[in-house]
A = this chain, B = another copy of it.
Amino acid sequence: MLIIDCHGHYTTAPAALQKYRDAQIAHFKAPGSAAPAMPRMGDDEIRDSIEKNQLKLQRERGADITIFSPRASGMAHHVGDESVSSAWARACNDLIKRVVDLYPENFVGVCQLPQSPGVSVARSAAELERCVVELGFIGCNLNPDPSGGYFNSPPLTDKSWYPLYEKIVELDVPAMIHVSGCCNPAMHTTGSYYLNADTMAFMQLILSDLFKDFPTLRLIIPHGGGAVPFHWGRFRGLALNNGRPELDEIIKNNIFFDTCVYHQPGINLLAEVVPIDNILFASEMVGAVKGVDPRTGFNFDDTKRYVDASPRLDDAGRRKIFEGNARRVYPRLKAKAPAKAAV
């Protein structure tokens, strides 16, 4: 069995990336001079940033492949304008491609989109296509709130998102619904904003006909689905109150939750209420919560331990969560990870 972690971000990129970002924002604010170029970055710098972090943790924890995307909180679609988001997404995605090329057995790419508030998401389709077709990426992160914390975009079920879904479906890649850093002082980025966006997205989806329009569209709700599994009865009831079927039926081929839930009781609940076919292994590392849980002696984000230990799962269930479901949700993974799979 291959252990596939479907939710990893390049949070440890070399300092040159942030230097470029700072220059880019400065140029946006005072555009007199020439637009900045990405500084040169040696392979050694990239190797160093990965081997001491994501790769080290993969090995220690026994994961094989991480589906890897740019730092989510760094996407910051609310900063700058379309041209800023476009250059920034391209730079971040190109850097992921370099990681994947250096460690083709350990990482597979997922891209950031060049979304920008007030700009049609249709204009993100080209970068998605470039990343999938030219760079070999297998999915994208889709930001449901490019405002960075004020939730003023139309719901994901609105027709304005459809041009992007058309491209997503055409390329047969999934989208992880993932907001970026929060500029709203009322919400903590990883503590409440991420989870709230997850919960919001799920509720938008279950009362809609989106998957009638796009039967093969596959959306991943990260962070265990936000508040959803804990309130499974509430969401079931609301679906039924609105003449919709049971959640199991609604989500079947289209909505998936990851296992970024940082304690054993949470993973147990996830596995108890959400159909096993709709759960993907993930850790979000190196990410939201750092350090060792003093009660267990292991890292909070070492989610493999919770999946391994959950009494709600048998071997067949674990196999689905660790590998089988990811292969179904990310069909392009096949071309990237056939060798190990055959071992």
Contact = CB atoms under 8 A, between A and B. Distances in A.
Interface of A: 144-145, 149-155, 184-188, 190-192, 195-196, 199-200, 202-204, 207, 223-224, 226-227, 229-238, 240-241, 261-263, 265-266, 268-269, 272-273, 288-291, 293-294, 300-301
Contact of A289 (B184, B227, B234, B288): B234
A262 B10 CA distance: 38
Contacts of A199: 191-192, 195-196, 199, 227
Contacts of A190: 234, 238
Contact of A155 (B186, B202, B294): B186
B185 A154 contact: yes
Number of copies: 2
A78 to B, nearest CB: 14
B233 A223 contact: no
A207 B188 contact: yes
A262 B247 CA distance: 14
Q: Of residues A150, A188, A223, A235, which shows the largest number of chain B Cβ atoms within 10 Å of its Cβ?
A: A188
The 3 A-B pairs of least Cβ separation, nearest first, read A233-B263, A233-B262, A237-B289
Nearest to A237: B289
Contacts of A204: 186, 188, 192
Contact of A237 (B188, B232, B235, B262): B262
B294 A230 contact: no
A144 B187 CA distance: 12
A72 to B, nearest CB: 15
A10 to B, nearest CB: 20
A28 to B, nearest CB: 24
Contacts of A227: 192, 195-196, 199, 226-227, 230
A233 B199 CA distance: 18
A319 B223 CA distance: 34
